[in-house]
């Protein structure tokens, strides 16, 4: 896993956005992701799976440290 997270898959981005909103605001996000995003096939910088990926801005720049431990535990 890379230190600098630039592109992520939808499951990682949506999960990170959800956890970030819970931590910051005490409630789930109103929107899980940006309405229009450009996806391309590639490796998610967070989970390492090859699937459609997009930039972290499409998930409102979430705090990925909230899910990194969960991903490491699954491997």
The residue ranges of every structural domain in the chain are 7-74
Would you call 65 helix, strand, or coil by DSSP? helix
pLDDT digits (tens, 9 = 90+) for 59-71: 999 999 998 866 6
Look at 67 and 9; give whichever has higher pLDDT: 9
Which helix H or strand E contains 8, and what residues bound it? strand 7-9
Element (H, E) at 55: strand 50-55
**pLDDT at residue 3 in the model:** 66
Dist. CA 61–CA 59, nearest whole Å:
6
pLDDT of residue 73 exceeding 80, the answer is no
**DSSP single-letter state for residue 60:** T
> Is pLDDT of 1 > 50?
no
Residue 34 has pLDDT above 70, yes or no: yes
3-state helix, strand, coil in the chain (%, to 5): 40, 15, 45
């Amino acid at each position: 896993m890379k230190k600098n997270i630039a592109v992520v898959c939808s499951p990682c981005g949506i999960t990170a956005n959800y956890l970030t909103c819970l931590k910051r605001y005490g409630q789930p996000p109103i929107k899980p992701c940006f309405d229009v995003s450009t996806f391309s096939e590639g490796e998610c910088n967070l989970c390492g799976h090859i699937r459609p990926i997009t930039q972290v801005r499409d998930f409102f720049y979430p705090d990925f440290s909230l899910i990194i431990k969960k991903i490491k535990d699954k491997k």
